[in-house]
Amino acid sequence: MLVANKPSIIRSIIICGGILLDQLDRRLLNLIQEEFPLVARPYQEIGCRLGLSEDEVIRKIRKLKTEGIIRRLGGVFELRQLGYTSTLCALKVPPGRLEEVAAVVNSFPGVTHNYLREHDYNMWFTLIGPDRRHLENVIRAIKERTGITELLELPAERPFKIRVNFDLEAED
């Protein structure tokens, strides 16, 4: 818990996963989520907007990545517009094989997310590929390599929401 004599200090710093984020960190995180500049020197442009040098922006982003605040920095593409398809899969994995099966599932490049859930079907993952046939081949390979045949497949029919942004400057 933060204790300070100046309320403005408390308001300008938040704790995120045990890490202190100052107002500049929060502004930076909001900016790279919403308005990442598509220019030759994006970090220089971000620096101009925040009153920092390009090197300072890069250092801050590296630090936030090292601390686990930023998991990944990259583009988000509309997979259907690119001709790709996706499905959500759920496997019924024996508790003693979770790590082993997760490693097999994660070894396929089209797997984008993989989560343990408290359910009979306890491993849920998303799979993206160029077409339905490709997805079927990957699912077949996962079943063969793991020896687990109890797999639910829930193909995406229509997206309702894909995006999430965390407003780190919003007041509580």
pLDDT, mean of residues 73-97 = 89
How large is the average pLDDT for residues 52-56? 97
Asked whether the beta carbons of 14 and 1 are under 8 A apart, the reply is: no
User: Residue 162 has what pLDDT?
Assistant: 62
Helices marked H in 4-157: 7-12, 23-34, 42-50, 54-66, 98-106, 132-146
42 pLDDT above the threshold of 50 = yes
User: What pLDDT does residue 81 have?
Assistant: 79
Where do the domains of the chain lie, and which CATH numbers do they carry? 7-66 (1.10.10), 85-155 (3.30.70.3460)
Name the one residue in this structure whose structure tokens are 């999430």: 164
What is the pTM (predicted TM-score) of this model?
Answer: 0.66
Both structure tokens of 109: 């490049």
Contacts with 156 (C-beta within 8 Å, 6 or more apart), sequence order: 85, 86, 87, 88
> Mean pLDDT score of the chain, rounded to an integer?
84
| 93-111: average pLDDT | 97
Give dist(CA 122, CA 94) in Å, integer. Answer: 9
**What residues contact 103, with CB distance under 8 A and at least 6 apart?**
none
Average confidence (pLDDT) over 42-63: 96
Residues 168, 14: contact at Cβ < 8 Å? yes
Alpha-carbon span 6 to 160, nearest angstrom:
44
Q: What's the mean pLDDT in 120-140? A: 97
User: What is the predicted pLDDT for the residue at 161?
Assistant: 63
Mean pLDDT within 57-67? 93
Looking up tokens 């517009």 gives: 81
Can you give the pLDDT at residue 53? 97
Give the pLDDT mean for 105-130: 96
3-class DSSP assignment, residue 31: helix
| Interatomic CA distance for residues 170 and 130, integer angstroms | 39
- Specify the pLDDT at position 74: 81
